[in-house]
């Protein structure tokens, strides 16, 4: 699978496992092994068995996150129904915050659940909550300007001028097309 990591945040990259391939929307997380490959490309050391056992939960979480991010990126508002479904998901599995001692003196926040033993799933939940509850980051969540692309990214440029998920993929394609039509 050709995963892309252009989102600037693990939850955005997780959402980007739904992308356009050969003109149609494609789910890149078709199996536990594809989820395992995604984690390997992120250089995360997650046992395959953990991903296999929790695969359907990962797919559900990814779809919930994808819907919320798509809402905000295109409409600048998250559908209340999508947020309620996400809240139902974290309630169903009793995913809750846990404050850990930090280095050197600041505590850090993580999430855990007694029902799902998956640090990756909890990390993705935390990442998603960090994005949607931080006005600065959420305001910079953007869709690629290529109409044939559904990928999202957090624009970390100084002046919020980033337009493409990737300059080499979408940006170059659009610029070359515009150049071609200008020269005709």
Q: Which domain holds residue 65?
A: 10-183
This prediction has a pTM of: 0.87
pLDDT in tens, 91-141: 998 888 888 887 667 787 778 787 777 889 989 999 999 999 999 999 999
172 in any annotated domain: yes
Q: How many independent structural domains does the chain possess? A: 1
Domain assignment present for residue 174? The answer is yes
> Which CATH number belongs to the domain containing residue 149 in this structure?
1.10.3300.10
Asked if residue 72 is part of any domain, the answer here is: yes
d(CA 57, CA 63): 10
Torsion of CA 142, 146, 147, 153, to 10 degrees: -20
CA 151 distance to own-chain centroid:
9
15-33: b (≥16 Cβ within 10 Å) or e: bbbbbeeeeeeeebbeebe
Q: Tell me, what's the pLDDT at 178?
A: 60
Q: Would you say residue 94 lies in a domain?
A: yes
Q: Assess if residue 53 is contained within a domain.
A: yes
- Residue 82 pLDDT class (50, 70, 90 cuts): very high
Please tell me the predicted confidence (pLDDT) of residue 26.
94
């Amino acid at each position: 699978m050709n995963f892309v990591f252009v989102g600037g945040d693990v939850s955005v990259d997780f959402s980007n496992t739904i992308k356009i391939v050969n003109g149609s929307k494609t789910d890149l997380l078709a199996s536990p092994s594809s989820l395992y490959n995604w984690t390997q490309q992120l250089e995360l050391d997650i046992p395959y068995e953990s991903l296999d056992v929790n695969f359907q939960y990962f797919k559900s979480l990814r779809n919930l996150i994808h819907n919320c991010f798509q809402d905000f990126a295109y409409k600048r508002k998250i559908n209340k129904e999508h947020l309620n479904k996400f809240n139902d998901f974290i309630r169903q599995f009793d995913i809750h915050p846990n404050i850990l001692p930090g280095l050197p003196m600041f505590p850090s926040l993580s999430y855990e659940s007694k029902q799902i033993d998956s640090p990756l799933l909890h990390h993705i939940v935390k990442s998603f909550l960090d994005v949607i509850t931080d006005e600065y980051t959420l305001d910079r969540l953007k869709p690629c300007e290529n109409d044939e692309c559904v990928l999202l990214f957090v624009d970390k440029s100084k002046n919020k001028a980033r337009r493409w998920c990737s300059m080499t993929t979408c940006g170059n394609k659009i610029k070359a097309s515009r150049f071609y039509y200008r020269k005709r």
